[in-house]
Structure 1
Amino acid sequence: MKTLMIYGAAGYTGRMTAGHAKAAGLNVIVAGRDAAELAKLALDLGVDHRVFALDDDATVDAALSGVSVLLNCAGPYIRTAEPLMRAAIRTGTHYLDIAAELDSYRLAEKLDAEAKAAGVMLLPGSGGSVAMLGCLAGHVAERVAEPRSIRIALHVSGSMSRGSAVSASENLTTETLARTNGTLQGRSPEDIRSFNFGKGPVDCFPVTLPDLITIWQATHVPDIETFVHVSGDAFPEGDLATLPDGPTEVQREANRYQAAVEVTGAGGSVARAILDTVNGYTFTSLAAAEAARRVLGGEVRPGFQTPAGLFGNGFAETIADTRIIDL
């Protein structure tokens, strides 16, 4: 039976993902650096565990022995993505993660040729907003003749986990980017746009999301802009170390996520849709486990791939009660 390793499994999202993967009947190894927490999690789930850091290539390669698919849930990804992607290529292990930082996707682009030569797939963003927004954008782009531009916004609701907050604080992109004529270019951070997530128009501010890479990769639409609307205490301030591990189940259920997209065609035609789904942490853990299941089952293309490009634009709607509503 093929084996899935979840690195960072002792973290908030990693634990949830490991539970979903085990419930799906996958052969799971939980891994990371926290020996005590991993041993406890492995005992709770009835799975094996491996403890290793990422500062020695030989150690990482040995730890991946017998592993078919590696799912990286250990942020900040600026520290973990490169050693694990490179190890995956060296050992012939397909790589997935749940990163939301642009640098991880730029790295996957850079390593695309090496991964293809090794027959290895790099699938960053296998769960989370990259899967949500990619499926929404691809779905609507199919309705437009010669799509030329995509404007897409994510509504982030509720609180962050401690790990997500630390990752975000270490990976804030100082430059606000958009994709124009197929290339990433700077843009004004003051370019506020209005989107309707289903309860009336709200202001959304431009941000640099990895979807500037993944939506381009999947659709080749030349002009792409990404925005965010934040409600609640989604971006905490102060000492991040004092934050709770993550939102409770009750808090997650009370804070669903939405996304909205506007796709414009060469002739000026416009199509819009919204996506409504469960809380981002719930979606991410479910989607990452499902992506791993499908990759273990043989849904693989070597090189840098995206969830929507690999699994199709309907992937997001297979997760929980996610639905896309055409407007």
Structure 2
Amino acid sequence: MKKSIAIYGAYGHTGKFITAELYQQGYTLVLSGRDEEKLLSLKQKHPESTIKTANINDEKTLDNAFSGADIIINCAGPFLDTAEPIIQSALRLGIHYIDLSAEQKAVLDVFENFSEKAKGKILIIPAVAFYGGLGDLLSTAITHDWDKIDEINIYIGLDSWHPTKGTRLTGDRNHYTRLTLKNNRLQELEPSSPIEWNFKNPIGIKEVVSLPLSEIITISRHLNVNTINTYLSLNSLNDLRNKDTPEPEPTDEKNRSSQHFSLEVVALKDNLKRTITAQGQDIYAVTSPLVVETVNRIFSGKIAKTGVTVIGEIFDANDFLKSLNEDDITISVAEESHL
């Protein structure tokens, strides 16, 4: 019997990438969201799927949409608003839950509100996305044999950023103070000046600024690390802040935009330094293989626990990264060096 997956916000920009890949792999899909017209349009591309409208403010419609599914994938931000009601539905129905949250507060709320309720019942995995999940996997992979870590620095370089409507809505909604990890505890981000970082080809040298996202929360939940910093290239942040920057446009057979990214993690312990880099095309599109691999691993039984967790904790990070197609993400590891 085919496994069934409910995708909420399936017609959103990132949701479409995830829907297309899961459909191609033969899963039974329930496409859900608030807009029936958009769901009908999406169903034309995936005729064997089912559509069910649902509203996050109406638990009956949520339960009706998700009933019978094995996993719910929440692609509808802002997750500050959508995560809790959909997780509540997942708990009522006994269904695993995945989302794509880059918002720190949303991930913190999930851990605080659902860790005990979900234990022994379902899996809840937030932040399975470019922001959050990928940095977590990379950090976990290169520190797998370290019992403690002095510092993890994450450098995110984009050659451009054409934000989606969902990204802009999330930015408007997410007014909470950004947090970083220092002295092994979450603290408010302190103002700092830009620095330069060489991302090499195709991104090159960019000014970067401190901008912690959900990876601070996911990594600190399961790695024994003293300090975590995240830096984002200033040019991409300026694109995001510019209201006239257009949305991404498809440029290849996978409907990816022309945007390129480089995400580099540098881990430090005593006098040792380890570096791992992920490069690819389109930060929205690359979220899809992360979600799909997570789904495949859940269905194959490659899980060690239930409750609220993150992909760096619940899966073998090195094995997970090796399973990804190089056309989606290219992983390179530098030799360990001494400081």
SS of residue matched to 2:45: helix
- Following TM superposition, by how much is the alpha carbon of 1:270 offset from its aligned partner in structure 2, in angstroms? 2.1
Question: CA 1:178/1:288 → structure 2, altered by over 3 Å: closer, same or farther?
Answer: same
Does the aligned pair in 2 maintain the 1:144–1:270 contact within 8 Å? no
SS of residue matched to 2:221: helix
Question: CA 1:324/1:39 → structure 2, altered by over 3 Å: closer, same or farther?
Answer: same
Does the aligned pair in 1 maintain the 2:207–2:235 contact within 8 Å? no
Alignment match, 2:333: 326
Does the aligned pair in 2 maintain the 1:69–1:295 contact within 8 Å? no
- Following TM superposition, by how much is the alpha carbon of 1:191 offset from its aligned partner in structure 2, in angstroms? 4.5
d(CA) in 2 for partners of 1:21, 1:36? 21
Alignment match, 1:70: 72
Does the aligned pair in 2 maintain the 1:4–1:69 contact within 8 Å? yes
Alignment match, 1:235: 240
Relative contact order, higher structure (CA 8 A, sep 6+): 1
Number of residues paired by the alignment? 321
Alignment match, 2:286: 283
Report the TM-score, using the length of structure 1 for normalisation: 0.90
Alignment match, 2:27: 26
Q: Which moved more, 1:79-88 or 1:55-64?
A: 55-64
SS of residue matched to 2:286: helix
d(CA) in 2 for partners of 1:313, 1:162? 31
Structure with a larger share of its residues in helix: 1
SS of residue matched to 1:254: coil
d(CA) in 1 for partners of 2:210, 2:66? 39
Post-superposition Cα deviations, 1:202-236, rounded to whole Å, max 9, x if no partner, equal 33111121111111123221221111114456404
d(CA) in 2 for partners of 1:285, 1:230? 25
d(CA) in 2 for partners of 1:202, 1:64? 44
Match of 2:301 among 289, 298, 301: 298
Post-superposition Cα deviations, 1:56-99, rounded to whole Å, max 9, x if no partner, equal 22332232210110000011111111111121122111000111
SS of residue matched to 2:119: helix
Does the aligned pair in 1 maintain the 2:30–2:65 contact within 8 Å? no
Letter in 1 for 2:119: K
- Following TM superposition, by how much is the alpha carbon of 1:317 offset from its aligned partner in structure 2, in angstroms? 4.3
Alignment match, 1:272: 275
Letter in 2 for 1:24: Q
Does the aligned pair in 1 maintain the 2:249–2:257 contact within 8 Å? no
Does the aligned pair in 2 maintain the 1:100–1:209 contact within 8 Å? yes
Letter in 1 for 2:243: G
SS of residue matched to 2:89: helix
Letter in 2 for 1:89: L
Does the aligned pair in 1 maintain the 2:53–2:61 contact within 8 Å? no
Does the aligned pair in 2 maintain the 1:131–1:316 contact within 8 Å? no
Match of 2:141 among 139, 142, 145: 139
Alignment match, 2:107: 105
Match of 1:154 among 146, 153, 156: 156
d(CA) in 2 for partners of 1:194, 1:69? 42
Does the aligned pair in 1 maintain the 2:125–2:310 contact within 8 Å? yes
- Following TM superposition, by how much is the alpha carbon of 1:295 offset from its aligned partner in structure 2, in angstroms? 2.0
Alignment match, 1:170: 173
- Residue segments in structure 1 that go unaligned for 5+ positions in a row: none
d(CA) in 2 for partners of 1:324, 1:195? 19
- Following TM superposition, by how much is the alpha carbon of 1:166 offset from its aligned partner in structure 2, in angstroms? 1.9
User: What is the root-mean-square deviation of aligned Cα atoms in Å?
Assistant: 2.3
Alignment match, 1:261: 265
d(CA) in 2 for partners of 1:202, 1:144? 30
Alignment match, 1:9: 10
Does the aligned pair in 2 maintain the 1:97–1:123 contact within 8 Å? yes
Q: Is the aligned partner of 1:85 residue 2:87?
A: yes
Report the TM-score, using the length of structure 2 for normalisation: 0.87
SS of residue matched to 2:40: helix
SS of residue matched to 1:25: coil
